[in-house]
Structure 1
Amino acid sequence: MKINKAYFAGGCFWCMVKPFDQYEGIEGIISGYMGGHVDNPTYEQVKTGTTGHYEAVEIEYDPALFPFDKLLDIFFKQIDPTDADGQFHDRGSQYRTAIFYVNEAQKEAAENYITSIQSQYNKPIVTEVLPYKTFYAAEEYHQNYYMKDPENYAQEQQLRQQYATKTSQ
């Protein structure tokens, strides 16, 4: 079995794990940080918005069971790709949206996907398509947060949904 990796920044990484974690072919998901200028950043550093890092997830997947385009479908259903300042009630540069490609095929797929959905929005899509940079795993207490603290995770999801509904009206 061949395993590929994909990297997505979609706001708070807590909210990006569960949507991917329920499919055959997804072999692992790690919350972390990438895209910035600080080596081995901590959550305390990243949350200041001064490191340049995005909160992101690393997804290990079997492309024979789960193609990259399907990952893009799931990703774009979790975000507002027109919001340049964060996601829903999570505001700040660390909550920007991006796809970090690891090869030209992922880059092309991401760019084509964005082009194909742009007409669904009345504002430009600002989700960035960027080359892979070092991914730094977040601290252990951030991993699989939705399973460790389902009550807080549910509240976080509810707030995201309320905000998304309010801003789409």
Structure 2
Amino acid sequence: MRTQLFAAVAAASLLFANAAPAAGALKTAIFAGGCFWSAEHDIEHTKGVTDVVVGYAGGTTKNPNYDHHDGFLESIKVTYDPSVISYAQLVDAFFHHIDPTDPSGQFCDQGPSYRTAVFTADPQEKAEAELIKSQVGQQLRMPIKTMILGPTTFWMGESYHQHYAEKNPGNYMAYRIGCGRDRSLKAVWAKPPGGNERGR
């Protein structure tokens, strides 16, 4: 199934791309994946990703912060090299670091600001993100609750939240283990031999 997924992604990339991206022409993408510490930590190790910062997106007011961000999602802004990883491949990587079937949050972090979303910059990105979402739904055989949204303003989070896992490894791992993130991710994405049904 994963091979079929990447084949579809590759076909979509060829369909939507007007020209091969120039090496070194970096782009950005915005995702909401629950706790932004974990969303940053997980995606920054993806090949082709050059930088990740955390913050807030999807709201309508100005200057949100950690204590006051009603209407916003905890989010990450990913800088990547499209000559190394396509937008569709990046979206696919993001999906595989979250539970896209949860409409209310992620793991122990539940509530409006922890819902998941892909913020798209233009119709091409929206089409590619919707394709990946559809493929993930077929793979997991469950309704996918991650939202595909349009352009948004990204507000940078506080400095003490940036690269939190790297700067505070002990505290972060205690949180991650206590939250059960890895155990839950394994359960979401586990497949029995043949990959025909979602693991239980």
Please give the TM-score of this superposition, normalised by the length of structure 2: 0.76
Structure 2 match to 1:5: 28
**1:67–1:139 Cα change, 3 Å:** same
Question: Which has a greater percent of strand?
Answer: 1
Contact 2:107/2:184 (8 A) holds in 1: yes
Structure 2 match to 1:30: 53
Contact 2:55/2:75 (8 A) holds in 1: yes
Q: Identity over the aligned pairs, expressed in percent?
A: 36
Which runs of structure 1 show a deviation greater than 3 angstroms over 4 or more consecutive aligned residues? 162-169
**1:107–1:148 Cα change, 3 Å:** same
- How far residue 10 of structure 1 moved from its aligned partner, in angstroms, is 0.5
- How far residue 60 of structure 1 moved from its aligned partner, in angstroms, is 0.8
Contact 2:33/2:75 (8 A) holds in 1: yes
The 10-residue stretch of structure 1 (129-138 or 115-124) with the greater mean CA deviation from structure 2: 115-124
**1:165–1:60 Cα change, 3 Å:** closer
Gaps of 5+ in 1: none
Q: For 2:79, what is the secondary structure of its paired residue?
A: strand
Equivalent of 2:156 in 137, 144, 152:
137
Q: Does the alignment pair 1:80 with 2:103?
A: no
Contact 1:35/1:53 (8 A) holds in 2: yes
Aligned alpha-carbon RMSD (Å) = 1.8
Contact 2:43/2:97 (8 A) holds in 1: no
- How far residue 151 of structure 1 moved from its aligned partner, in angstroms, is 1.0
Contact 1:89/1:163 (8 A) holds in 2: no
Q: Does the alignment pair 1:65 with 2:84?
A: yes
Measure, in 1, the Cα distance between the counterparts of 2:145 and 2:84.
29
- How far residue 116 of structure 1 moved from its aligned partner, in angstroms, is 1.3
Gaps of 5+ in 2: 1-23, 189-198
Structure 1 match to 2:175: 156
Measure, in 2, the Cα distance between the counterparts of 1:98 and 1:160.
18
Cα deviations across residues 67-90 of structure 1 (Å, max 9, x unaligned)?
Answer: 112212221111111111100110
Measure, in 1, the Cα distance between the counterparts of 2:75 and 2:111.
14
Aligned partner of 2:128: which letter? A
Cα deviations across residues 132-152 of structure 1 (Å, max 9, x unaligned)?
Answer: 211000000000001111012
- How far residue 163 of structure 1 moved from its aligned partner, in angstroms, is 4.5
Aligned residues: 165
Contact 2:121/2:150 (8 A) holds in 1: yes
Contact 2:98/2:185 (8 A) holds in 1: no
Structure of higher RCO (CA pairs closer than 8 Å, 6+ residues apart): 1
Please give the TM-score of this superposition, normalised by the length of structure 1: 0.90
Cα deviations across residues 27-53 of structure 1 (Å, max 9, x unaligned)?
Answer: 21110001012211010112xxxx210
Cα deviations across residues 85-121 of structure 1 (Å, max 9, x unaligned)?
Answer: 1001100000000000012221111000111121233
Aligned partner of 1:82: which letter? T
Q: Does the alignment pair 1:21 with 2:44?
A: yes
